[in-house]
C-alpha cells in the first residue's frame, strides 16, 4: 500500500515514512550463488530439504555470510489490553507485569530457550498497565526498554484500542527498538515475541478485519478458556468489529481500532528489520498478527519473514496462508513470548553452516550422480 493512501499527518510520520520508503524488495537468491553452491556440494540434489530453503532465504536477505550466525536477538513486546475486562482470558491482567519481571529474572520459558539458542532477550514495555519500573530486578538476565505508549489499550468491545497517533507511535517503538539494538552491536537474526494478557482477542480482530474471514472460523482458546469463554470471546470480537468498523484497506486504522501496543510494535519491528535487511523469525499468533499489519503497510516486508512454527491457536494457519509462509516447526505450541521463534533459530543457523562448510564433490573426491569423477 502506498504511503500517501494512509498518511493522516506527515509531520508525525517521519520515522515510519523513512522506514517504509527504504525497504527494498528481496529477489530470492538473485545471483543464484546459494543455489550453485548446493548443486556443487557432495550430496544428492535437494536431499537437505528445507534446510537448503532456509539457507537460501538467509543468503537472499543478507548475502552469503562470511561466517556463521552469531548475533541473535529475540524482542519480547509487552502490553495490556482493555478488552481483558470482558473475561476473554483465563488469567488476570496483572500477570502481564508479573511476567515481565519473570523475563527479567530469567525464569520464563523464553529465557531458557533463548539461552539454549544463544540469543539475547530484549523486553519492551509498549503499554503494560502496571508499573514495570518496579519489575526491574537486580542481576537481570534480559534487557528492558521502557517505551510505554499508554497504560493498556482501550476496550475494543466499546471503542477503539488507541488513537491513530498512538498507532503510529506503536509502529515507531518497534522500529526504534530495532535500531537501538543495531547501535549496540551487530544483529544477524531477529525473532519476535509478545506478552499481553488477552492479546489473542485483538489479534483475532486484526485477522478478521484484514481477511474478512468469519469470527467463528478463527477464534481460539488463547490461554485455555473453556467453551463458555470461547463463545464470549467470539461475541467480543464481533462486537469490536461492529463498534469500530476498521477499514481493511487502511492498516493503521485496523491497528488503531482493534489492535494492541505490542502488536503494533511487532509490526514496526518487522518494518525496521526489513529496512536494515535483517531476516525475521516470526513466533506465533500475536507475532503473525503484527506481521500481517506490516505487510499491509508495505508488501515487500513479506520477503524478510520466516514462520518459525505453526501455533495451536486456531487462526494462525490462516494468517500464515495469507502471508504465503510455511512454518518450520509444528509442535502444538501456543505460549508466545517468542518461544517458537528461538526454537527455530538453531535450524536457520545449521542451514547457514551447511552453506559455508560443506565440501563440494571435487573437494571431497566424490563422484557425481552422472558418473563424473570427483577429483
- What residue segments make up the domains of the chain, in order of their start? 70-349
Angle at 105 between CA 99 and CA 110, to 5 degrees: 60
| pTM, full prediction | 0.94
Give the CATH number of domain 70-349.
3.40.50.10210
pLDDT at residue 371 is higher than 70: no
Confidence grade of residue 217 (pLDDT, cut at 50, 70, 90): very high
pLDDT above 70 for 46: yes
The cell for 128 is: 503494560
Across 138-153, average pLDDT: 86
- C-beta of residue 269 within 8 angstroms of C-beta of residue 300: no
Tell me the percentage of the chain whose pLDDT exceeds 90. 84
Residue 369: the pLDDT is 82
Report the percent of the chain where pLDDT is more than 70: 93
CB neighbour class for 4 (10 Å; exposed up to 12, middle 13-18, buried from 19): exposed
Q: What are the pLDDT digits (tens) for 70-86?
A: 999 999 999 999 999 99
C-alpha span between 255 and 295 (Å, rounded): 13
Q: Average per-residue pLDDT in the chain? A: 93
Catalogue the active-site residues.
Answer: 337
Handedness of CA 260, 159, 97, 147 (dihedral sign): positive
Cα atoms in the Cβ-side hemisphere of radius 13 Å centred on 10? 3
* Cα–Cα separations (whole angstroms), residue 108 to 89, 100, 105, 158, 309: 20, 9, 8, 33, 19
Tell me the average pLDDT across 260-280.
98
Q: What's residue 3's pLDDT?
A: 45
Give the pLDDT confidence of 274-320 residue by residue, as tens digits: 999 999 999 999 999 999 999 999 999 999 999 999 999 999 999 99
Band of pLDDT at residue 343, cut at 50, 70 and 90: very high
Q: Supply the pLDDT for residue 282.
A: 98
The Cα–Cα gap between 260 and 154 comes to 9
> For residue 290, what pLDDT is reported?
98
Amino acid at each position: 500500500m502506498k504511503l500517501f493512501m494512509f498518511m493522516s499527518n506527515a509531520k508525525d510520520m517521519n520515522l515510519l515514512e523513512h522506514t517504509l520508503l527504504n525497504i527494498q524488495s528481496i529477489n530470492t537468491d538473485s545471483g543464484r550463488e546459494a543455489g550453485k553452491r548446493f548443486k556443487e556440494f557432495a550430496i544428492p540434489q535437494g536431499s537437505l530439504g528445507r534446510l537448503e530453503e532456509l539457507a537460501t532465504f538467509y543468503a537472499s536477505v543478507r548475502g552469503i555470510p562470511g561466517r556463521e550466525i552469531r548475533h541473535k536477538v529475540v524482542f519480547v513486546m509487552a502490553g495490556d489490553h482493555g478488552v481483558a475486562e470482558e473475561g476473554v482470558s483465563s488469567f488476570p491482567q496483572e500477570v502481564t507485569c508479573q511476567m515481565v519481571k519473570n523475563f527479567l529474572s530469567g525464569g520464563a520459558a523464553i529465557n531458557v530457550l533463548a539461552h539454549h539458542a544463544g540469543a539475547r532477550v530484549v523486553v519492551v514495555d509498549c503499554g503494560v498497565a502496571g508499573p514495570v519500573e518496579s519489575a526491574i530486578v537486580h542481576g537481570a538476565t534480559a534487557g528492558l526498554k521502557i517505551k510505554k505508549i499508554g497504560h493498556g489499550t482501550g476496550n475494543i468491545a466499546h471503542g477503539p484500542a488507541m488513537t491513530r497517533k498512538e498507532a503510529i507511535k506503536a509502529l515507531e517503538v518497534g522500529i526504534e527498538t530495532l535500531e537501538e539494538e543495531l547501535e549496540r552491536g551487530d544483529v544477524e537474526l531477529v525473532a519476535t515475541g509478545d506478552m499481553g494478557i488477552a492479546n489473542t482477542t485483538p489479534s483475532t480482530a486484526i485477522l478478521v478485519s484484514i481477511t474478512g474471514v468469519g469470527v467463528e472460523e478463527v477464534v481460539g482458546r488463547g490461554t485455555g478458556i473453556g467453551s463458555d469463554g470461547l463463545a464470549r470471546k467470539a461475541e467480543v470480537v464481533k462486537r469490536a468489529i461492529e463498534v469500530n468498523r476498521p477499514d481493511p484497506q487502511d492498516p493503521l486504522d485496523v491497528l488503531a481500532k482493534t489492535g494492541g501496543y505490542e502488536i503494533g510494535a511487532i509490526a514496526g519491528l518487522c518494518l525496521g528489520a526489513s529496512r536494515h535487511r535483517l531476516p525475521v523469525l516470526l513466533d506465533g499468533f500475536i507475532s503473525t498478527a503484527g506481521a500481517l499489519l506490516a505487510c499491509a503497510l508495505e508488501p515487500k516486508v513479506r520477503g524478510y519473514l520466516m514462520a518459525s512454527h505453526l501455533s495451536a491457536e486456531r487462526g494462525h494457519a490462516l494468517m500464515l496462508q495469507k502471508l504465503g509462509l510455511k512454518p518450520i516447526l509444528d509442535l502444538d505450541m501456543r505460549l508466545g513470548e517468542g518461544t517458537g521463534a528461538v526454537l527455530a533459530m538453531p535450524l536457520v543457523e545449521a542451514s547457514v553452516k551447511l552453506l559455508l562448510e560443506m565440501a563440494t564433490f571435487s573437494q571431497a573426491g566424490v563422484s557425481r550422480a552422472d558418473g563424473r569423477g570427483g577429483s
